[in-house]
């Protein structure tokens, strides 16, 4: 289940012929995506909904098999801390035993790069709001969300970054500035 899917094509890349997949995004994004005329597939649903409201949950329950994996890439950094709490409560209430991989950035690392970031040069209202300093902090948002692991998105890619960023990267910043956190809902 892809939360905040945007134009992500992960289903077409991962489909093994048996998985069921839901891409969820806001109605205006889903309307744009529908114009792309993607190949129809009975195992894939494109759902217009906000993950901050609970209307999407029954759709996931209806399609869910015994195991459900949620992914959220480029979504949570734009949520406030209280919105993080709301989504984690919804997921742990409804999907105990299931897992999620989500993208987050440590606030300390974002501050370090704020003035260099390509994002800061874009004319956009989508400001990064909040993130986890450490993946293991996730349980402080909700005790039923258990930290499993975290993975740096930059680890191994330092050489392809612009020089002003590369110069300031410490091992701690590489670990924190963009990462994927894996959690399980209890």
Ligand X SMILES: C[S@@+](CC[C@H](N)C(=O)[O-])C[C@H]1O[C@@H](n2cnc3c(N)ncnc32)[C@H](O)[C@@H]1O
- Considering only CA atoms, which of 97, 105, 113, 107 is closest in space to residue 148? 97
Q: Are 92 and 185 in contact (CB under 8 A)?
A: yes
Q: Name the segment binding ligand X (CB under 6 A); options: 73-81, 128-136, 146-154, 166-174.
A: 73-81
Binding flag, residue 107, ligand X (CB under 6 A) = no
Among residues 22, 47, 60, 75, the one that binds ligand X under rule CB under 6 A: 75
Please say which residue, 4 or 131, places its beta carbon nearer to ligand X. 4
Q: Across the chain, how many H-helices and E-strands are there?
A: 8, 7
Binding flag, residue 90, ligand X (CB under 6 A) = no
Among residues 5, 86, 110, 138, the one that binds ligand X under rule CB under 6 A: 5
Sheet of 21-25: strand order equals 44-48, 21-25, 2-3, 69-72, 99-104, 179-185, 145-152
Please say which residue, 128 or 136, places its beta carbon nearer to ligand X. 128
Among residues 20, 48, 74, 128, the one that binds ligand X under rule CB under 6 A: 74
As measured in angstroms, the least distance from the Cβ of 51 to ligand X is: 4
Q: Name, in order, each residue with C-beta under 8 angstroms of 149's C-beta and a sequence gap of 6 or more.
A: 135, 181, 182
Through-space distance between the first and last CA atoms of the chain, rounded to whole angstroms: 18
Positions in 14-33 near ligand X (CB under 6 A): 24-26, 29
As measured in angstroms, the least distance from the Cβ of 72 to ligand X is: 7
As measured in angstroms, the least distance from the Cβ of 63 to ligand X is: 17
- Considering only CA atoms, which of 25, 16, 22, 103 is closest in space to residue 68? 22
Comparing every residue's Cβ against ligand X, the nearest one is: 6
Using CB under 6 A, list all residues that contact ligand X. Answer: 4-6, 8, 24-26, 29, 50-52, 73-75
């Amino acid at each position: 289940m892809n939360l905040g899917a945007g134009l992500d094509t992960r289903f077409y890349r991962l489909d093994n012929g048996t998985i069921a997949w839901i891409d969820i995004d806001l109605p205006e994004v889903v309307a744009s995506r529908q114009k792309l005329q993607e190949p129809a597939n009975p195992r894939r649903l494109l759902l217009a909904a906000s993950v901050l409201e609970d209307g999407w949950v029954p759709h996931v329950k209806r399609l869910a098999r015994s195991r459900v994996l949620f992914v959220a890439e480029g979504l949570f950094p734009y949520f406030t801390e209280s919105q993080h709490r709301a989504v984690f409560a919804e997921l742990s209430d409804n999907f105990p035993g299931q897992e999620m991989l989500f993208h987050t950035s440590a606030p300390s690392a974002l501050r370090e790069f704020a003035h260099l970031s390509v994002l800061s040069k874009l004319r956009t209202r989508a400001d990064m709001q909040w993130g986890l300093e450490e993946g293991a902090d996730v349980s402080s948002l909700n005790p039923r969300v258990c930290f499993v692991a975290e993975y740096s998105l930059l680890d191994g890619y330092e050489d392809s970054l612009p020089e002003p960023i590369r110069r300031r990267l410490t091992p701690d910043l590489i670990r924190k500035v963009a990462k994927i956190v894996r959690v399980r809902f209890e």
